Amino acid sequence: QGEAAVAPFSTGRYLFSHNGAVTGWPTSIARLTTELAPAELMAMEAVSDSALLWLVVHQRLQAGERMAEALGNTVRLAASTAGGRLNLLLTDGRAIAATTWGDTLCWRADADGVVVASEPYDDEPGWTAVPDRSLLVASPDGVDTTPLPLDVPPEVPWTR
């Protein structure tokens, strides 16, 4: 698969990363592909769980969902069909949206901004653990976390 299968995935102003694994890949998550344009699937540079999740998130962004909605809806859909460790992170250079599902996630704010990581990378104080099955949004307005319910998100009008 090479470098094409390694995060971060990017398009335009967006950078995306997946820390985790989809249980039963690829069969378990095939349902996510039914709503995608065939040309998009065939144009994937890498065939991996992370690349497919990025394609779903990107399609949701193109359909008009905000970053938090796109990540949250993608995780809820993936969790309802496959499960696994679904820590997704998306930034547009101004804000960060991240999910934790089956794995750890934390954040820390300092004078330089906000850091979001799978686990603290130093012993400095100020790290805040994000509860499992949550969505984090860090923006210039602050950091908010909300629970992610396990219900299937609504369909979106995919662009084809």
Q: Which two tokens stand for residue 154?
A: 């609504």
Residue 99 amino acid letter? T
- Of 125, 127, 93, 124, which is closest to residue 107 (Cα–Cα)? 127
For residue 10, give the nearest of 58, 44, 48 by alpha carbon. Answer: 58
pTM of the model: 0.85
Q: How many CB atoms lie within 10 A of CB 90?
A: 25
Read off the pLDDT of residues 63-117 as tens digits, 9 standing for 90 and up.
Answer: 999 999 999 999 998 888 888 899 999 999 999 999 999 999 999 998 888 999 9
Question: Tokens at residue 98, please?
Answer: 């991240």
Whole-number pLDDT of residue 28 = 79
* Consecutive H or E run containing 84: strand 84-91
pLDDT average, residue stretch 13-18: 92
Exposure string over 41-80, b if 16+ CB within 10 A, otherwise e: eeeeeeebbbbbbbbbbbbbbeeebebbbbbbbbbbbbbe
Residue 94: its pLDDT value, please? 93
pLDDT bracket for residue 158 (50, 70, 90): very low
**Between 134 and 44, residue with greater pLDDT:** 134
Confidence of residue 16 (pLDDT cuts 50, 70, 90): very high
Closest CA to 127 of 137, 116, 113, 143: 116
- State the Cα–Cα distance between residues 145 and 143, nearest whole angstrom: 7
**pLDDT attached to residue 27:** 79
Q: Is the pLDDT higher at 123 or at 150?
A: 123
